[in-house]
């Protein structure tokens, strides 16, 4: 007598997928066209055909433990060739949105970030926190034009005469360092939970585990190199132009990371060992002629251009391909655009010598950057963590650490 498998659909999960852009999944009738055109698909792994049926059945456990969902980079070929208009690419995007919430820690914050109706709260949290600290710092007053030209935003949170740490840096640190550390911890916790669930889903079990060094050298570093090269994006068909947006965006974050660390070294380390006169210069705005300042401006422009291209691509897919506008997609696009425009805008207004408007734009910049850090593990930005883990797992499941168990 054949074995009967009982399927119990999670109706709330199906409802969520529909709201997150997967409302077309019921049109799929398993013709396998998507699997024929997808480079991730193989004879034993009919991707994304099997994910489409799992989504229709509401099998969220299987989908959350499926690394292929994260390996997909939404090249668009499956959606372009689907004869039924089921839009597998959009459905997979909705599944990824669920994965980031499913593995998010803490769950309360992860669920807060998954819905557009919570946007006022997501904005209010950093506005109130930074506004309160600005008020407590005693810096909530506008400098005169001459002072502003000399110190820029270096006294946004006020000034004190403590030699070892400026007041502005102190308040910047207590705002952004905890946010960064929290986001890093939440990301690692979520990534570990996903890795454990993917391992548990392997048909072949093995007691062999790579050491930390083996994991980094054999699995993680090759993934990072592949990501930097945008190798899989270049294999896209329908949406190959997305690399034109992702590449400058990625390089801009690298450039701005380098410049941020340069500013830290210049203002808060080197300044400790120079005269008071030189220290005042180092604490002021970095000259436009400084190579790192040039890199910062190029990075800011690249960030705006890159996210602008992705903005245009997303709008085009909604207008011409019928993709559904979702909070999952637009929240990150809008947030990164806000970071870029407010950062570059604050500098330009500073050069014009308008303290009131410059301080307002700088406040928006601080709020935007804080939101980018704090909400990173729960938004589309989290794909840089979870996709990296999935790509490393792909190499792991095909390695000798797992394969020997197949014949056992």
- Dihedrals phi, psi of 155, to nearest 5 degrees: -125, 30
Q: How far apart are CA 213 and CA 227, in angstroms?
A: 20
Q: What is the pLDDT of residues 140-186, one digit of tens each?
A: 888 989 889 888 998 899 988 887 888 888 999 999 999 999 999 99
Q: What is the pLDDT of residues 265-312, one digit of tens each?
A: 888 888 888 887 888 788 778 888 999 999 999 999 999 999 999 999
Q: What's the rounded mean pLDDT across residues 243-249?
A: 82
Q: Give the three-state DSSP class for 377.
A: helix
Of 103, 101, 110, the residue nearest 195 (C-alpha): 103
Q: How far apart are CA 310 and CA 312, in angstroms?
A: 5
Global pTM? 0.88
Q: What's the rounded mean pLDDT across residues 242-255?
A: 85
β-strand partners of 45: 42
DSSP states of 297-308 = HHHHHHHHHHHH
Higher pLDDT, 52 or 206: 52
């Amino acid at each position: 007598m054949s074995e009967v498998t009982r399927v119990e659909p999670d109706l709330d999960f199906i409802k969520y997928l529909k709201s997150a852009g997967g409302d077309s999944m019921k049109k799929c009738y398993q013709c396998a066209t998507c699997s024929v055109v997808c480079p991730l698909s193989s004879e034993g792994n009919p991707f994304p055909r099997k994910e489409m049926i799992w989504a229709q059945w509401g099998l969220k456990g299987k989908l959350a433990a499926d690394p292929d969902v994260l390996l997909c980079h939404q090249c668009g070929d499956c959606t372009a060739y689907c004869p039924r208009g089921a839009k597998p690419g959009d459905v997979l995007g909705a599944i990824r949105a669920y994965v980031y919430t499913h593995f998010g820690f803490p769950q309360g914050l992860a669920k807060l970030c998954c819905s557009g109706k919570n946007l006022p709260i997501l904005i209010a949290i950093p506005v109130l926190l930074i506004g309160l600290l600005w008020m407590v710092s005693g810096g909530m007053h506008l400098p005169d034009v001459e002072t502003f030209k000399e110190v820029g935003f270096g006294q946004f949170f006020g000034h004190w005469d403590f030699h070892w740490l400026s007041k502005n840096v102190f308040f910047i640190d207590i705002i952004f360092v905890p946010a960064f550390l929290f986001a890093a911890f939440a990301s690692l916790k979520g990534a570990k939970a996903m890795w454990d669930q993917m391992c548990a889903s392997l048909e072949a079990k093995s007691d062999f585990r790579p050491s930390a060094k083996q994991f980094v050298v054999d699995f993680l570093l090759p993934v990072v190199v592949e990501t930097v090269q945008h190798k899989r994006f270049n294999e896209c068909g329908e949406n190959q132009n997305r690399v034109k947006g992702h590449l400058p965006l990625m390089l801009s974050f690298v450039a701005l990371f380098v410049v941020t660390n340069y500013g830290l070294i210049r203002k808060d380390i080197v300044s400790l060992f120079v005269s008071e006169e030189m220290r005042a210069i180092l604490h002021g705005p970095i000259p436009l002629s400084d190579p790192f300042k040039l890199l910062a401006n190029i990075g800011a422009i690249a960030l705006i251009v890159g996210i602008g291209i992705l903005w245009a691509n997303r709008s085009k897919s909604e207008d011409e391909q019928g993709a559904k506008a979702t909070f999952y997609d637009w929240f990150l696009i809008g947030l990164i655009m806000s970071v870029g425009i407010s950062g570059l805008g604050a500098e330009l207004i500073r050069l014009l010598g308008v303290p009131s408007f410059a301080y307002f734009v700088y406040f928006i910049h601080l709020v935007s950057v804080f939101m980018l850090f704090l909400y990173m593990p729960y938004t589309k930005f989290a794909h840089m963590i979870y996709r990296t883990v999935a790509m490393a797992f792909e190499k792991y499941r095909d390695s000798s650490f797992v394969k020997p168990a197949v014949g056992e």
